[in-house]
């Protein structure tokens, strides 16, 4: 089932993020988690900014030589 595979994929990378919190290389890693309240219209602005960030990151990543591997997980959802 494709949705089951997507669920496992997201779960695996989130588990890796938690594991990296204890890593000796922690100083070069970035971890950020936050919850906040805001206006509904502002949530739409933030979502658009995240989508733009993803597109800009892909423009940088695609031509970049493969020297290191990083994980980037972005979640933005109403609680």
User: Which tens digits make up the pLDDT trace of 47-79?
Assistant: 999 999 999 999 999 999 999 999 999 999 999
Local structure of 61: helix, strand or coil:
helix
CA–CA separation, 63 and 79 (whole Å): 37
Residues in the chain: 79
> To the nearest whole number, what is the mean pLDDT of the chain?
94
pTM summary value: 0.84
């Amino acid at each position: 089932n494709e949705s089951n595979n997507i669920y496992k994929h997201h779960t695996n990378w989130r588990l890796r993020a938690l594991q990296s919190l204890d890593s000796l290389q922690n100083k070069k890693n970035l971890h950020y988690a936050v919850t906040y309240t805001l206006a509904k219209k502002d949530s739409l602005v933030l979502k658009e900014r995240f989508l733009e960030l993803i597109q800009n990151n892909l423009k940088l990543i695609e031509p970049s030589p493969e020297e290191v591997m990083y994980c980037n997980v972005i979640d933005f959802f109403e609680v």
